[in-house]
């Protein structure tokens, strides 16, 4: 059971910066992308991060959009520095480092903080990979925090770089939308991978139900329950986001886009629900198939038994060693008894056949 | 599992015109119908579509209603041209080409965009056919986008042509209502076809449960789950539509009609739910029937065994070759033993009968 | 599966008067009752219905209440005439003729239109009869449309005639209440009949579970699902009715009465739900009883087998024809072996008894 | 199935005073308690009730609180008299006499009318007793109607008499609160009794599942469903009561008390729900235990069979009477065959043991 | 079944101070902590508690925060004294002493009263310990009431003492937040312990399902149901708390913190729900595994039977003692019959193998 390990934080004050989760990269990597319609810069921040951030943070007077991406969340120092530079609430700093949160959206005065699960499918391992990503949408900037170096945001990055579409003409809220859209599009990947596994299992269930182990269904159901746990709160999150009325942070032009990803996330979460119900139905069928199989075996057993046990009894009777068994002396007794056995066996076979036991 | 293939769109910007789905017609066919009470024109647009559309789009000063129907969605060029001509939001253009959307309604400033599933029953293949249709209701025009050339809208088309009823006296919203009504009326066709299959299966379940394969029930349940996935969001969609207050697009006179199709769609979706519950109940009965059948077989097996195994044992005893078995010499021993066997067998039969095992 | 046959209406315009359902009477019978506190008239309308209705419809200046009851819905002409006389919306006219609607309430500007199911229990056939009734409550008049000549409204009719209670002192809304009350009171009849069948089945299930066929439970569950489908929307309908604020149609004095039938319909629908859960529990018990029965049989089978098979084996050993089997020559061998068999059989019996297998 | 018998009322007008339920007392007993802080009177009303009530009803100018309790509801005359004296709505009068109502609260202009179920546990009969009580809270008076003489309200009565606590310092609404509190406290009694039965059954299920009859679980589930039917609407009722804003009837000082009993009733109804789920889980366990038991028996059967049937076959082979069976003549054949049988039997035993079949 | 024992309170007036629950400490221990940013005092109150409280209660003019913690709730005298000193509503006093309440929040005019369950995991006993805690948040003070001396609040206490973080710079509402946070953090401990047990059981279920007793699953499900009963109302409670708008008691600066623990409690309660569903799935798998196991055994049984019973019958035939059985005299009869037996046995084995029965 993939259980959260929140217990490490017990007895710590709120805002305490403790990393909860596995350490997936060696050192955090910070990339700062800044752009306006006609300009674009991308730097990797190293050395004295606080200083670098301080320099960057002087940008509000500029009209540019700043996107700061952090890969690797285990260093409190880094998170602390970013938190200070962007004036984030202590609870935001804390939550960024906790990789086992439920997807959620918190509205603060100067920013919107979102926690989401990123889903991907590892074809080699045949399993769904879940990673947490935090997004802070502020006035003129977007911060993203990932557990490891990933490629989910790569497409967005290259579109910003190439000034493709209207992304460089829009504000930070549109960037946030593009990032959310990239995350949710990956949900479909995970879901399709799962659907394919379900499909294969379903086929095997129809063809050779006795080869399927109950365990496989259970593992799949857990996987779906787990997916649901990641996706359902995201639905609620995006719904809240689409309803936020904060013209400072979210411009009206972006609203249809937020409604659009809301539609997507609703579709994803309904597909998860659908898969869950299909799995439930498959379990029923699995049970029924096992019963059917067993019935078939039982029937044959009962017929073989019902035919031969009475015949064996007859043979047993004439195998008794009583001195006075007049039938034994009759010359035709043996063929008559054999014929009688044939009749009895045939009668039982006919009777069971008529009863449709086989 | 009929899974959506949304993954083709990953890493593409919003509004990217990618066709998702199967290509069902060779070339898109565009039909433009324009009417006022006293006049009607129907043209098929070919050649330079952009030019043709541009010409058509000059109509707002006219009081006519324009209905543009597109069969075949795989050509981005066509959709692009229409999108520009009617000033559709980029997200609408994108959604029109994605045939694997969940039914939804999006309100834009100048139009209402609806995605619905069209259901039909293919008698030859004995399966329900699902096709997506998009409807854009704008000020003075209705655009419909279908995957293939179909006949669902044929009745509406001929009524417009014949000036039957009040359709040519009403605005574009009434035309949209008539189209939605045509779609939802076809839901009943699919549902009835399904209900008939359920009925036939139910009868077979009552008569010869052992001839029913668990798989058949599973396939039916999946079909119902799939139907529900198409119909339930439509219920919500029509509900939203009936509540929209936009006098520019929806005139008060049409409101009762929207409420009316809402009633229809509620009825359809409740019928799906009902069918689902009936199927659930049938599965229970199926399990019970199998158990019953097996019990019956088991009982006979147990009785045959319980009667003959002890008798065979007695026969076995008197078949032993001990030299000193005084009974064997008795002249009456054989008939006595036979009679004893009859008694014992009879007693067991009577006992099991009294216990109601058969 | 009692499925709706809405498909006949496909491709027809809204308001098209097509009768959907079975024709249950020969010719429609129209009864017009008009009353004020001190006067009462009851006429059966025949001949030129339009004329008759036109005459009647001149009554608004009078203070009387008009109750027009129609038995038999298959003649579009009649419905058309009434619809015109009372200025009913085309959708109302259409819905009146469709006897397979879901119970619903539509508010129009000048009237309230209600569709309900009337339930009755046919003692002879042992089945619940469902009939649709439509009620139109307008300013000063109530129209009722029934599929056949029934006696559900008889009591109301006679009270109006006899000027019993306050019915002749109240407006049309009170008459509508009395009619709804009569319909919902009959729900209790159907429910009690059903409850009695459930009771009888439950008793049989406790006494002789193996005599109950799984099918009986299934039929009952379908019946309950069907009842629920008729009653649950009625609950919603009456709830809406109780909240309508239209002083023209519903006077404040009648509100407590509407709340009262709301209580009734809630009670009915909870009873249906209750019955459904009891049936679910009965199915569980049924399964458990079958398993129990089978276990009992299995146990006896296993014990008989476990006792006699080893004994038969021993007998078989001493029935072998080897020349050199020294035991066979011993004079006491036979009784010793018999005694050993007794011991072994007893030991197995004692062991299985201690294990509580019987 | 404890079904309501509402059918007696069919075709009767609203407000018709018909007693529905069993007659549990000989004659109705009416007790009138009147008190202010410094004074208290308690009279049993007999003789001409109308006159007595008329006298009492002249009290509004006094500041006292009047509590009229009626035990026994089968006499329309009494209810009629009280209804007139306190100016109760006809529907209230009718509902008081119908002991098979769903718990509900109706707000009338001059009073609040509540119907509740009173639960008690009969230790002798080991069953939960349900009785209906109606409470009318008016301006300066509380009327209570019970089916029989009970002791649920006794504690309240004696506190009023003894002027204990602040009851005599408060208004009628506080008295109503105390009465409701007494009723709901008794729910806990019923629930604990039920919980104890469930506990006992659970223990038996863990120890000797084969001694438990499926029926017992069913009866318990029905009991819980029945309890729920009585308690859940009470939750809603008290919730409504706590939200009523009618300073005439409910003073702000009493509000926290109403919220308090709301907490209680929520706790009770959640406990019922909890018990229901525990019972559901117990049923699952019951099924599993039966399967387990059966498996155990089946295993032993299969092993005994699998060991001895092949051995018996060998014995049978050497019991054949062919003239030319060379083995039979060998002096060592018998011990060799016996040893081979031992080996084969042992091998099968070892194989099945390794397979963990026993 | 851990059932509440509310029945002790029946017939007692509201506000009656009766201790419901087990007495877990000898004498109540009262600790009074008072602090401002620059000062801190901690006293244990003994001797004349009323006097001590009176002295303390004179603090409103000071700007300090007072935290009064009571361990041990069985002495009405103490609760009474505190209740008077802090002017608590009688219902609050009563509820503090009742340790079997459902988690709830009551808003009074001068304070907010909360009842919560504290969960801890006893590693030695391998069971979850539930304890009730009441928190009163007033203007400038927080009262906490625990059943026994615990260490859940210890971390908060030491942070106050050490002036760590901002706790001494904030008001009483922040202290309340820290206490709630400490309680809810412990929910994760209980949940993880439970998850580990579920994990272990799941592994055993996959490896050796026949070693798992149905009872273990049942006990676990009850445990989860019990946890849910404690946690779910807490979710609602914290939600209400986060929405309270009472600037006197809750300052805006603390709101994000309340929202934060709301997120936590939602996460906990979803994890409980998740665990419940996983357990449900495990039960299904358990049933399926048992069926599978049984099928496997049944198959082998049926094959052994199906092979040897016909062979034994043949041996029985040639063991009959008829005088005239010509085959018995043939020199090759014996080997031919043996070979025929081999063929028949092989054929049955091949047939059953092809049918995939083993």
The CATH number of whichever domain residue D338 belongs to comes to: 1.20.58.340
How many angstroms separate the CA atoms of C35 and D167, rounded? 54
How many angstroms separate the CA atoms of D288 and E213, rounded? 9
The predicted pLDDT at position E58 comes to: 62
Terminal alpha carbon distance of chain A: 45
Whether A323 maps to a domain, the answer reads yes
- Asked if E234 and E329 sit in the same domain, the reply is no
Say whether pLDDT at D56 is over 70.
yes
Residue E202 CA, distance from chain mean position = 18
Whether E164 maps to a domain, the answer reads yes
Pick from B275, B322, B347, B356 the residue to mutate for testing the C interface (most C CBs within 10 Å): B322
- Asked if B299 and B278 sit in the same domain, the reply is no
Average pLDDT over residues A180-204: 90
C334 and B321 within 8 Å at the Cβ level: the answer is: no
Q: Strand locations in chain D, DSSP E?
A: 29-36, 39-45, 65-71, 104-107, 111-122, 127-138, 141-146
Q: Which of A246, A266, A288 is the last residue of a domain?
A: A288
Q: Which of E268, E288, E308 is the last residue of a domain?
A: E288
Whether C276 maps to a domain, the answer reads yes
Strand partners, A167: none
| Beta strand pairing call for E141-146 and E65-71 | parallel
Closest by Cβ to D297, choosing from C256, C267, C302:
C302
- Asked if E220 and E335 sit in the same domain, the reply is no
A274 and B4 within 8 Å at the Cβ level: the answer is: no
B287 and A285 within 8 Å at the Cβ level: the answer is: no
Sheet with D29-36, side-by-side order of all strands? D39-45, D29-36, D65-71, D141-146, D127-138, D111-122, D104-107
Helix (H, G, I), strand (E, B) or coil at D17: coil
Whether D136 maps to a domain, the answer reads yes
Say whether pLDDT at E51 is over 90.
no
Q: What is the mean pLDDT of chain A?
A: 86
Which residues 27-46 of D have a C-beta within 8 angstroms of E? none
Say whether pLDDT at A1 is over 80.
no
Average pLDDT over residues D89-95: 91
Say whether pLDDT at E47 is over 50.
yes
A289 and B108 within 8 Å at the Cβ level: the answer is: no
- Asked if A278 and A318 sit in the same domain, the reply is no
- Asked if A336 and A212 sit in the same domain, the reply is no
Q: Which of B273, B288, B303 is the last residue of a domain?
A: B288
How many angstroms separate the CA atoms of B264 and B273, rounded? 14
- Asked if D207 and D330 sit in the same domain, the reply is no
- Asked if A188 and A278 sit in the same domain, the reply is yes
- Asked if B350 and B219 sit in the same domain, the reply is no
Q: Tell me which chain E residues have a C-beta less than 8 angstroms from the C-beta of A344.
A: none
Closest by Cβ to C199, choosing from D1, D15, D213:
D1
Subunits adjacent to chain A (3 or more Cβ pairs under 8 Å): B, E
Structural domain harbouring C326: 295-354
Residue A290 in contact with partner chain B when CB distance is under 8 A: no
The predicted pLDDT at position D317 comes to: 93
Say whether pLDDT at D133 is over 90.
yes
C331 and B324 within 8 Å at the Cβ level: the answer is: yes
With cut-offs at 50, 70 and 90, classify the pLDDT of residue E352: confident
Q: What is the mean pLDDT of chain E?
A: 86
D1 and C298 within 8 Å at the Cβ level: the answer is: no
Of B179 and C58, the structure prediction assigns the larger pLDDT to B179
Of B28 and A117, the structure prediction assigns the larger pLDDT to A117
How many angstroms separate the CA atoms of A33 and A78, rounded? 17
The predicted pLDDT at position E54 comes to: 73
Say whether pLDDT at B184 is over 50.
yes
How many angstroms separate the CA atoms of A191 and A73, rounded? 27
E357 and A329 within 8 Å at the Cβ level: the answer is: no
Burial of D246-275, coded b for 16+ CB within 10 Å and e otherwise, reads eeebbeeebbbbbbbbbbbbbbbbbbbbbb
D324 and E308 within 8 Å at the Cβ level: the answer is: no
Give phi and psi for E139, each to the nearest 5. Answer: -75, 100
Q: Tell me which chain B residues have a C-beta less than 8 angstroms from the C-beta of A295.
A: 210, 290, 293-294, 297
The CATH number of whichever domain residue A21 belongs to comes to: 3.30.460.20
Of E301 and E99, the structure prediction assigns the larger pLDDT to E99
Nearest residue of chain A to residue E316 (CA atoms)? A315
Nearest residue of chain B to residue A155 (CA atoms)? B11
The predicted pLDDT at position C243 comes to: 87
Closest chain C C-alpha to B241 CA, distance in angstroms: 16
Burial of C27-62, coded b for 16+ CB within 10 Å and e otherwise, reads ebbbbbbbbeeeeeeeeebeeebeebbeebbeeeee
Please report the ipTM that was assigned to this predicted complex.
0.78
Residue C206 in contact with partner chain B when CB distance is under 8 A: no
B291 and C286 within 8 Å at the Cβ level: the answer is: no
- Asked if E78 and E159 sit in the same domain, the reply is yes
Say whether pLDDT at B67 is over 90.
yes
- Asked if C302 and C170 sit in the same domain, the reply is no
A6 and E356 within 8 Å at the Cβ level: the answer is: no
Nearest residue of chain D to residue C257 (CA atoms)? D91
Give phi and psi for D151, each to the nearest 5. Answer: -115, 15
Q: What is the mean pLDDT of chain B?
A: 86
Strand partners, C70: C30, C145
Average pLDDT over residues D52-81: 80
Whether D1 maps to a domain, the answer reads no
Closest chain C C-alpha to B8 CA, distance in angstroms: 37
Closest chain B C-alpha to C318 CA, distance in angstroms: 5
Average pLDDT over residues E23-35: 84
DSSP string over A212-271? S-HHHHHHHHHHHHHHHHHHHHHHHHHHHHHH---TTTS-GGGHHHHHHHHHHHHHHHHH
Whether E1 maps to a domain, the answer reads no
The predicted pLDDT at position D2 comes to: 42
Contacts of C187 (CB under 8 A, 6+ apart): C119, C231, C234, C265, C268
- Asked if A305 and A260 sit in the same domain, the reply is no
Tens place of pLDDT for every residue, chain C, 358 residues? 344 455 555 666 666 777 777 777 778 889 999 898 888 888 888 767 777 777 776 655 567 899 999 998 888 888 888 998 888 999 999 999 888 899 999 999 889 999 999 998 888 877 888 899 999 999 889 999 998 887 789 889 999 999 888 899 999 999 999 999 999 999 998 898 898 999 999 888 888 877 888 788 888 888 898 899 889 999 999 999 988 888 888 988 898 999 999 999 999 999 999 999 999 888 888 888 888 877 877 787 778 888 999 999 999 999 999 988 888 988 899 999 999 999 999 999 998 888 877 7
Closest by Cβ to E322, choosing from A301, A312, A333:
A333
Q: What is the pLDDT of residues A74-103, one digit of tens each?
A: 888 888 889 988 889 999 999 998 888 999
Distance (Å) of CA C259 to CA C55, C244, D5, D41, D114? 36, 11, 21, 37, 14
Whether C1 maps to a domain, the answer reads no
With cut-offs at 50, 70 and 90, classify the pLDDT of residue B6: low
Distance (Å) of CA A179 to CA A97, A144, A163, B16? 20, 9, 16, 16
Name the token pair of C24: 């249950």
Closest by Cβ to B188, choosing from C7, C233, C337:
C7
Closest by Cβ to A91, choosing from E257, E289, E305:
E257
Name the token pair of B43: 């043209």
Closest chain D C-alpha to E352 CA, distance in angstroms: 16
B285 and C218 within 8 Å at the Cβ level: the answer is: yes
Which residues 6-25 of B have a C-beta within 8 angstroms of A? 6-7, 9-15
- Asked if B178 and B276 sit in the same domain, the reply is yes
Whether B128 maps to a domain, the answer reads yes
A322 and B334 within 8 Å at the Cβ level: the answer is: yes
Q: Tell me which chain A residues have a C-beta less than 8 angstroms from the C-beta of B323.
A: none
Say whether pLDDT at E345 is over 70.
yes
Which residues 234-273 of A have a C-beta within 8 angstroms of B? 256-257, 259-260, 263, 266-267, 270-271
- How many domains, chain C? 2
Average pLDDT over residues E330-351: 93
């Amino acid at each position: 059971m993939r259980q959260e390990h929140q217990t490490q934080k017990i007895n710590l004050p709120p805002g305490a910066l403790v990393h909860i989760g596995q350490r997936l990269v060696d050192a955090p990597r910070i990339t700062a992308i800044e752009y306006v319609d006609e300009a674009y810069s991308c730097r990797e921040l190293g050395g004295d991060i606080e200083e670098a951030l301080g320099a960057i943070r002087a940008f509000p007077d500029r009209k540019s959009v700043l996107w700061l991406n952090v890969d690797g969340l285990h260093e409190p120092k880094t998170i602390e520095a970013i938190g200070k530079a962007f004036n984030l609430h202590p609870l935001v700093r804390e939550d960024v480092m906790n990789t086992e949160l439920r997807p959620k959206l918190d509205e603060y005065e100067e920013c919107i903080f979102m926690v989401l699960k990123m889903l991907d499918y590892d074809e080699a391992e045949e399993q769904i990979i879940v990673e947490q990503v935090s997004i802070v949408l502020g006035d003129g900037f977007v911060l993203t925090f990932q557990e490891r170096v990933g490629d989910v945001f790569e497409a967005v990055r290259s579109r910003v770089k190439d000034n493709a579409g209207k992304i460089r003409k829009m504000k930070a809220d549109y960037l946030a939308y593009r990032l959310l859209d990239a995350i949710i599009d990956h949900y479909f990947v995970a879901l399709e991978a799962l659907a394919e596994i379900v499909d294969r299992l379903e086929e095997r269930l129809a063809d050779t139900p006795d080869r399927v182990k109950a365990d496989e269904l259970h593992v799949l159901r857990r996987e779906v329950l787990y997916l649901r746990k990641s996706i359902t709160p995201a639905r609620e999150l995006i719904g809240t986001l689409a309803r936020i009325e904060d013209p400072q942070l979210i411009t009206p032009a972006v609203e249809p886009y937020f409604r659009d990803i809301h539609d997507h996330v609703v579709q994803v979460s309904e597909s998860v629900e659908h898969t869950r119900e299909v799995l439930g139905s498959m379990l029923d069928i699995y049970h029924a198939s096992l019963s059917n199989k067993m019935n078939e075996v039982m029937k044959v057993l009962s017929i073989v038994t019902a035919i031969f046990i009475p015949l064996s009894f007859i043979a047993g009777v004439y195998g008794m060693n009583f001195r006075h068994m007049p039938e034994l002396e009759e010359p035709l007794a043996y063929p008559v008894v054999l014929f009688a056995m044939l009749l009895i066996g045939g009668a039982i076979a006919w009777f069971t056949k008529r009863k449709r036991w086989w």
